[in-house]
Structure 1
Amino acid sequence: MDIDISGFARPLTINPQSQPHKHTIILLHGRGSNSTEFGPALLFKPLRAHRSRLHVNGGSGGSNGNGSINSSNSKATNPRNSTNSRSAHNTTSNSPAAAYYHRRGSSITLREALPHAKFIFPTAVSLHAKALDGCAVNQWFDNWPLAPMVASWNYSGTPSSSSSSSSSAYSNQKDNDTLPIPGLQQTVRFLHDLIQTEIDELGGDAGGVVIGGFSQGSAASLIAALLWEGESLGAWVGMSGWMPFARQIQRAAEDEAAADPNTALQRGVDKLRNILDFHHVSSGAGAGSCDEDSTREVQIPIEHTPLFMAHGLKDDKAPIILSRMVRSCLESLHLDIQHKEYEYGEHECSEEALCDVVNFLWEKLRH
């Protein structure tokens, strides 16, 4: 499949503050934004250690006193991962990130916290948004408004028996909608090429590359991470995010037909590939060229990629249920994800969430 990615502008690149260059972190903005608006605001936002306490917890879901909810560190049920779980252990002020914060004083920026990282902020292509009466807007893919899609679901992420028939019909229509597909095809191909370029620059170290984003950027980057076929990446991080086709992927993963030799992860990723008309590539990286031998076992690198999601409970643009649906979908694929919720968080890259992202990356990346 020939996918045109010529419409993407050169990304905003912030070189490492200190040498050597050890990591590259690719972060995608939300719908309607751009790299120059999103990148510097994120990269140079003051982060105060005393506010976040640099504390990452799993467990019961209670407040830790600073507005952060101790949500689940989901643990995959795949027995192959049982002895090598990527679920984060509790970290305290003895963590490397916390020590770095305290050495620098009362506040620090994302760039200062990860001084050996190059930061790349791409800008989405300007596309006509169907939900906005055809107005052109920077977006990684087109999609319908999220709130109506959520209306037919209850708070826990399961179908609500009290939903109206019209709401359910709307949800089912959008659940199977093809609107996001063309944009996602372009975006995933573009991101895969960008990832491969950065791996090459790091001497072939895929573990030094992180991908993630905010809102729609979180959604697009997660799809790209699921479809990546090179070596496992260093991490994926999402803030105020969601995922297109999450329910279809989860249903495929949980469809354990007796004659199907594939794992839940293979079934789910194959479903996503079929939706987007992406095929396995023989080179092991990127996307877009077909491999006629569809029966061969293909490496799925996200199985060994650390995953982190942050979401505010007061988010009215991408309601928290969408983040929980992503978590449920990834768990059905037997993937581990550290999922954090913030009691006072809105639709934003909050200070608390960014502190937790820093701590997560300090723990997962090689330094």
Structure 2
Amino acid sequence: MSIHHIALVLGTRPEAIKVAPLALALEARGCRPHLFLSGQHPRLDLAGLGVGHLPADQLRCVPDPDPFAFARTVAVALAPRIGRSDLVMVQGDTSSALGGALAAHDADVPLAHVEAGLRSFDPALPWPEEENRVTIDRLSSLLFAPTKDNAENLAREQLAGEVHITGNTGIDALRRLVGSLPKRTGPPVGGLPRLLVTCHRRENWGLSFVPVALALLALARSPWIAIDVVLHPNKAMADTVRELLAGRPRINLLPPLDYRAMVMAMRRSSIILSDSGGVQEEAPALGVPLLILRSKTERPEGIRSGNSKLVGTDTRLIIEEVERLLEDSDAHAAMALPALPYGDGHAAERIADASLAWLDRRKRVERPRLIA
């Protein structure tokens, strides 16, 4: 196998969690990737994720309220640094991922998209993520689709990139943390039923969070329930949550949690309410029923597996679904049956193998012929 120079671009905590297994898989195959950190989230626990020893450049791009302006800032900072790379890899649909894709295009370096093919089919939900992922897929030479659904989306769009169905590296990260999956066979034993709530998508900022807060306040009137709400690092969103929910009985506001603490909180919960993409992937594997605080999702597989349900931000529907799951043990048990709709925990190995094989083929084609 030839020695290849691979650049991994990331900027957010979820990206770091999902990129870490891939970086380690590449390293295990003799390819030491170079990490480029955009600065979208200022503190990434690379050491805690096991990749702190890898070479990394801090781009230190200043976050911009305009996500596309930030993506272009990342691209301008990154493009001059990746000219010697054989492949640029980005994960997901963040502004950092879009910036990495644009930089690869500007520098004429092949691009690989990890978590390709997710579609809500609505540019506004979520925004800007849906536009980001569509643009990144169009620029990519390698498209790593977590599921068959994702690959079919790419096939319908007739993109030029080579498509591989691999599973999601988020499940790899979860497997590394908690061991073999799945294990859980029922709700946590002892104590009050606990709801775990996370909410951070742009469509749920500001006044849009009010219906969710009203549902939580209504549920918290019961003395037989405890509600944990995880604050997001985004100050505006956290301030909104504090204003509406701080000091209320049976509602606990938790500071932003690191990856390990978040997974442990999920495992302690009876029901999760969240608009997070990562939580949509992790909850089925952990066997925790999930009510999705969105009207549309690009991850329908968890709904089909029976582990998740869309409730949007409808106050009445949120209350009804939580009460149904708490009162109907059969309904709860059906949603709590662990499943792996997003992969088996070996996605990083498949992505690393496919990437290096593609690069080997590319080098063989490009190698000049010797003239006798």
TM-score (normalizing by structure 1): 0.33
Higher share in helix: 2
TM-score (normalizing by structure 2): 0.33
Higher relative contact order at CA 8 Å, sep ≥6: structure 1 or structure 2? 1
